[in-house]
Amino acid sequence: CPNESKWTEWFDRDNQEGTGDHETIRSLNNQYHGRLCTNPTSLDVRLLNGSNYHVGGNVLILSPSIGFKCINKYQSDGICKDYQVRFCC
């Protein structure tokens, strides 16, 4: 995140039950109205326990304009870990 920008707080709206863990901008804005920026330039993802997302070993979809998705059916063991996300604004 560049010096003139700042990170939002960490968000964890969803868990891995159902189809997976989805922390998208649309769903986060619905739940945390006004606490996200409109055009994030980057995102940061970590496991709920604070570990780097690479440790989770899941296949992830990451995009500053969409957010984060981990879809259970794309995982070798059939389930995502629980993640949280923050955005650079």
Cα 13 from Cα 19, distance rounded (Å): 14
Q: Average pLDDT, whole number, for the chain?
A: 91
Q: Please report how many Cα atoms fall inside a 13 Å half-sphere around the Cα of residue 75, on the Cβ side.
A: 18
pLDDT in tens, 42-75: 999 999 999 998 888 889 989 998 999 999 999 9
pTM: 0.86
Query: What residue segments make up the domains of the chain, in order of their start?
Result: 20-88
User: 71 has which bridge partners?
Assistant: 20
Q: What is the DSSP letter of 69?
A: E
